[in-house]
Amino acid sequence: MSTRFTQVDVFSAHPTRGNALAVVHDADRLTDEQMAAFARWTNLSETTFLLKPTLEGADYRVRILTPLQELPFAGHPTLGSCHAWLEAGGQAAGDRVVQQCAGGLIEVRREGERLAFKGPPLVRLGAIEPDIFAKALAGTGLTPADVVDSAWVDNGPGWMGFLLRSRAQVLAIKPDFARLKGMRVGIVGPSEKGEDTDCDFEVRGFTAAGFEDAATGSLNAGLALWLTEAGHAPHSYVAAQGTMIGRSARLFIARHDADIWLGGHCRSVISGKVSL
């Protein structure tokens, strides 16, 4: 089959400086095997497939695949898929787009030139188990004294969060992916007064597949829920991610009551057709 294809750069106003996402439109005729094979072939952190919704209230359905597995929810695939769907002529039934994914229904709204999604609830929270905590520290080269606070911030993919004292500490980490294998570790630290940066926090996300992610919506949504609830962050802030791998992603966080809205810019970089 041949269908529309879009490759979107997510979480950056400057194309190629955010996180790339492959989007296959009108994918209802594809089999699970074809989707998995294409996701492996793109070798991007995620590839998404747009399908007709099966739940009442949803405008479209998305399946989110990494080269290794399918995810119930992920942030940059949510915004990038919505951007591609709208650009292809998608029309929301209500004042917000409602995306159906394996993790449930996710609301997406426009915020000027940006799109923002409402973060799903955490499926795992609280203290990180001592053995997992120790393994994560070993893989990041941190000591317990470096960590201000830590917690599970898992809204589907399996992230844990570590708060450090400064942005500089976050940028100094040299991850050992052999030791981090199988874990998703998010590190966050605040910018210090007088620093030459436009962000309030620096974030790094080390994936279970053994690479550093350029911009991670699910991690940042989970971190925002935890950080604001614990009093470590204001209810509105900007996070930077991807700095150490040559990207300049910016994620815009706003908390309203119990809801976290996470936004960013999206730009289509490649458009065409895919033949499978």
**Could you tell me the residue ranges of all domains in the chain?**
2-118+264-275, 124-259
Give the architecture (CATH level 2) of 2-118+264-275: Roll (3.10)
Q: Tell me how far apart the alpha carbons of residues 42 and 28 are, in angstroms, rounded to a whole number.
A: 19
**CB-based contact 67:43 (threshold 8 Å):** yes
Separation in Å, CA 266 to CA 202, 237, 263: 20, 19, 10
Identical fold between 2-118+264-275 and 124-259: yes
- From first CA to last CA, the distance across the chain in angstroms is 5
Enumerate the active-site residues. 46
CATH superfamily of 124-259: Diaminopimelate Epimerase; Chain A, domain 1 (3.10.310.10)
Task: Give the confidence band of 267 by pLDDT, cuts at 50, 70, 90.
Answer: very high
> Cα–Cα distance between 77 and 67 in angstroms, integer?
14
Question: Per-residue pLDDT tens for 107-148?
Answer: 999 999 999 999 999 999 999 999 999 999 999 999 999 999
> CB of 77 within 8 A of CB of 85?
no
pTM for the whole thing?
A: 0.94
- Kindly report the backbone phi and psi dihedral angles of residue 236, in degrees, each rounded to the nearest multiple of 5, phi listed first: -140, 125
Taking Cα atoms as reference points, which of 42, 7, 50, 58 lies closest to residue 25?
50
pLDDT over 80 (residue 104):
yes
Does the structure show a pLDDT above 90 at 1?
no
- What pLDDT score does 197 carry? 85
Express as a percent the part of the chain with pLDDT over 90: 96
pLDDT confidence of residue 51: 98
Q: How confident is the model at residue 91 (pLDDT cuts 50, 70, 90)?
A: very high
Report pLDDT for 194.
76
Provide the pLDDT for residue 29.
Answer: 96
Q: What is the pLDDT of residues 171-193, one digit of tens each?
A: 999 999 999 999 999 999 999 98
